[in-house]
Structure 1
Amino acid sequence: MICRLCGSAELESVVDLGATPPCERFLAATQLDEPEPTYPLHLRVCRSCLLAQIPPLITPEDTFTEYAYFSSFATSWVEHARKFVDQAVEKIKPEFVVEVASNDGYLLRHVVAKGIRCLGIEPSVNVGAAARDKGVPTRTAFLNKDTAASVRSEHGPADLVVANNVYAHIPDIQGFTAGLRELVKDDGWVSIEVQHLLSLVQYNQYDTIYHEHFQYYTVASAQRALASSGLHVVDVELLPTHGGSIRLWARPVEAQPGKSVGFVLEEERRAGLHDMSGYQDFARNVDTVRQNLLRFLLGAAATGKTVVGYGAPGKGNTLLNHCGIRPDILKYTVDRNPYKHGRFTPGTRIPIHPPERIADDKPDYVLVLPWNLRTELTAQLSYISEWGGRLVFPIPTLEEVRP
């Protein structure tokens, strides 16, 4: 394995999570007697450019041609997108907006509502169709330089290019970044949201390591990646989304970075993420999360308590597989997305039901797998207190909560 950004062979191990199936490959009942392919899930950091990465063992085409994740089912995420659009329109006053990996139109629908010309570029056929049903113009394609050149030729360059939660999902960083540069005007803006490696390490968020995420960024490594196609980071915002994310504002024109860039770079340096010192305890902390969760689940089973899950996110499948959790100690999980109903989690084969199942069964505990939506889900699940039920959050440390 060599670094996909700089080509160095000096990659150092951070944590090895064994081998798991792709996290969004949910199983139909007819597939339960079939074998499942698994792939190593081993995070390493390049000593030369500091990019944290896993081997590109599956292709984006394997994962994203048909996709199980629809952003609009997360109410807080839609609201987050609305606020971003309001901010961006005020800041940039764009006449044409392009979003890459636009999913089901969760963000661009707010742009459409403002009467601003826009286009989504979404590789998943089923998800892109849902966006078009909402009135969001969407092209079904993966972004590369050729796709970007085609869009630019047909629609013109964009004042604003948005790439939320996709910069980690592409193994060809340089080709994708070249596509971003091709899409944007010479004096335009690129906005990228991606989980911050600083939060991942500090808060034991190892379940966000999965095969869809090929790399994990600090501001320092993101600067190097964007610079490969002449994009310069001029501002950084720290966001609470996904347990801690960064919003990078980049431009083709060189400019003095704002104070926020230096501030976050210094935070990363102090945490030891500009060398290897900050990763020394991570694998041990991951083991602690696993041990605490298994101790809780086995203890609940031994005392006759029932535990079910809430949510079937990709991150949850890393956690379930790494911990070896099966339906004997987690009876089932529920999800708002109808696409997943009647299916089973990859690897662990835990059944997925509609959320109403929880009220019917009245379990003692609900294990919240999308822990990053804690505020939203604590409110949604407050009704479990009627029978004394408790929520359990596994990360950053195991916590029981009476909602």
Structure 2
Amino acid sequence: MNCRLCGRTELVSMLDLGATPPCERFLTAAELDRPEPSYPLHLRVCSACLLVQLPALITPEDTFSEYAYFSSYSTSWVAHAERFVADAVDRLQLGSDSYLVEVASNDGYLLSHVVDRGIRCLGIEPSANVGAAARDRGVPTHTAFLDAASGARLRAEHGPADLVVANNVYAHVPDLVGFTSGLRALVADDGWISIEVQHLLSLVRHRQFDTVYHEHFQYYTVRSAQLALATGGLAVVDVETLPTHGGSIRLWARPAEVAGEPSARMLAVLAAESEAGMHDLAGHTGFGAAASALRLELLEFLLDAARSGRTVVGYGAPGKGNTLLNYCGIRPDLLRYTVDRNPYKHGRFTPGTRIPILAPEQLAIDRPDYVLVLPWNLRTELTEALGYIGDWGGRLVFPIPQLDVVDPTPRPVRSSR
């Protein structure tokens, strides 16, 4: 394996989760008796440039041609996108004569707020089914994977963008250099690029091993993101730290010729990374042992619940949940089923572990003792939304960053008057 950023071959093991199926390849009932392919899930760090990466065993076409994830089903994520649009419009003084492009625009959850403001925009979304949902809600969307050639074509057709948004996609591209060239092709020579991506510092510090899955080809510090963006002639000038996905960074980049000096808060994040050892190879060790400890902790809880006759079901069927379920070897004998708001997943089964996925209404019917929350990064939103399970004494279980069994937020009592 060669580093996809610098080309060196000196890659060091950081986390080995064994072999698992692709995390978004949910099974239909007809597929349960068929073989299911699995692939190694082995995270490595380049000893030269420190880019943390997975081998590209699955192509983006395999994952994203038809995709099971629709962003609009997360209330907090839609609100996050609306806040970003408002802040970006204010920061960059965008108006009716501006042009904004979002790469990996999903179902239009973000660009719908841009359309509402009367700002010209375009979504670039590789998944045909998800892009169709965006167009149905009035968001102009082009179905394509971004690279240097497609970026140049879209620039020639629509003009350069004042702002290019790439939220939670920079980790999903095996051709990192080609994708970065595509970003540069899209943006105006005096324009801006905003990238949100999970922060490797949070991943390691909070033991978020379940966020490692095949469609994430690399994980970034600000330092490694600087090196990656520089391959396309782009320079990071500002960084925001965000709570999303358990701890993310928002990188603000510009063409190097107009970038200027980095902000004070960017320098502060770089200093925090350095202090944590993330700018050295040694700072990347110990992740495997932390994942193993969490695995044992969760399995002990589930086994004790099964022995005592208590019912445990899941909430959510995110990609990260499938990494957790497969690494821990959790199957329907320990987790009877999981529920999800996305109707696309109803009646299907989780990859590898083959746990049924049902509609959320099933929780109130079965009244389980425990609900294992697989999208633990939405803790605040889901603790409130699932407050009704407290009506029968149900409790929520959060597996990361440590096992936490909690009572849900009580629902307000309505007056009978």
Task: Tell me the distance in 2 between the aligned counterparts of 1:276 and 1:389.
Answer: 44
Give SS of 1:85's match: helix
Aligned to 2:123, the other structure's residue is in SS state: strand
Give 1:306's aligned residue: 311
CA distance in 2, matches of 1:265, 1:50: 14
Tell me if 1:60 matches 2:60. Answer: yes
Q: Among residues 201, 204, 210, which one is paired with 2:207 in the alignment?
A: 204
Match for residue 145 of structure 1 among 144, 148, 153: 148
Residue 240 of structure 2 is aligned to residue 237 of structure 1: yes
Which of 228, 246, 260 matches 1:225? 228
Amino acid at match of 1:63: T
State yes or no: 1:376 paired with 2:407. no
Segments of structure 1 that go 5 or more residues without pairing to the other structure are: none
**2:337–2:355 Cα contact (<8 Å) kept:** yes
Q: Kindly provide the CA deviation profile for residues 245-274 of structure 1, in whole angstroms up to 9, marking residues without a partner as x.
A: 000000002311111111111111111111
1:339 and 2:344 matched: yes
Give percent identity, aligned residues only.
Answer: 71
Normalised to the residue count of structure 2, the TM-score between the two structures is: 0.96
State the partner residue of 2:413. none
User: Following the alignment from structure 1 to structure 2, what is the Cα–Cα distance between the partners of residues 6 and 178?
Assistant: 15
One of 94, 109, 114 as aligned partner of 1:111: 114
Counterpart residue type for residue 27 of structure 1: L
Q: In the alignment, is residue 6 of structure 1 matched against residue 11 of structure 2?
A: no
Aligned residues, how many?
A: 403
Q: Which amino acid aligns with 1:216?
A: Y
Question: Larger deviation: 84-93 or 337-346?
Answer: 84-93
Segment drifting more, 85-94 vs 341-350:
85-94
Gaps of 5+ in 2: 409-417
Cross-structure match for 1:91: 91
The question of 1:293 aligning with 2:298 is answered: yes
**Is the partner of 1:24 in helix, strand or coil?**
coil
Distance 1:265 1:188 in 2: 24
Note if contact 2:199-2:248 (Cα within 8 Å) is conserved in structure 1.
yes
SS in 2 for 1:35: coil
Q: CA RMSD in A?
A: 0.5
> Helix, strand or coil for the counterpart of 1:69?
coil
CA distance in 2, matches of 1:279, 1:212: 21
Q: Distance in 1 between matches of 2:318 and 2:325?
A: 11
Correspondent of 1:397 among 393, 402, 406: 402
Q: How does 1:353-368 map to 2 (within 5 A)?
A: 353-368=358-373
Map of 2:15 onto structure 1: 15
1:282 is displaced (CA, Å) by: 1.3
Aligned mate of 1:283, from 272, 281, 288: 288
C-alpha contact (below 8 Å) 2:18/2:41 kept by paired residues: yes
Which residue matches 1:213?
216
TM-score (norm 1): 0.99
In 2, Cα distance between equivalents of 1:8 and 1:277: 18
Q: Report the residue type matching 2:105 in the other structure.
A: S
Is 1:157 aligned with 2:157?
no
Contact 2:253 2:259 in 1 (8 A): no
Between 1:271-280 and 1:154-163, the stretch displaced more is 271-280
Distance apart, 1:67 and its partner CA: 0.1
Which residue of the partner structure matches residue 36 of structure 1? 36
SS of residue paired to 2:151? helix
| Amino acid corresponding to residue 293 of structure 2 in structure 1 | T
User: 1:208-227: per-residue Cα shift (whole Å, max 9, x none)?
Assistant: 00001000000000000000
Mapped pair 1:121 → 2:124: yes
Q: Deviations over 1:127-186 (max 9, x none)?
A: 000000000000000001111111111110000000000000000000000000000000
> Counterpart amino acid of 1:5?
L
User: What is the SS of the residue equivalent to 1:169?
Assistant: coil
**Equivalent residues of 2:161, 2:191 under 8 A apart:** yes
Partner of 1:2, secondary structure, is coil
2:41 partner letter: L
Q: What is the CA distance between 1:52 and its match in structure 2? A: 0.2
Per the alignment, residue 47 of structure 1 pairs with 47
Distance 1:66 1:23 in 2: 13
C-alpha deviations, 1:270-295, integer Å up to 9, x for none? 11111122222211111111000000
Q: Distance in 1 between matches of 2:187 and 2:124?
A: 14
Q: Give the equivalent residue in structure 1 for 2:260.
A: 255
- Report if aligned partners of 2:104, 2:167 keep a CA contact under 8 Å in 1: yes
- 2:18 corresponds to which letter in structure 1? G
Tell me which stretches of 4 or more aligned residues in structure 1 moved more than 6 Å: none
How far apart are 1:395 and its partner, in Å? Answer: 0.2
Residue 392 of structure 1: CA displacement? Answer: 0.1
Residues 346, 357 of structure 2: 8 Å contact kept: yes
Task: Specify the code of the residue in structure 1 equivalent to 2:188.
Answer: K
Following the alignment from structure 2 to structure 1, what is the Cα–Cα distance between the partners of residues 184 and 220? 19
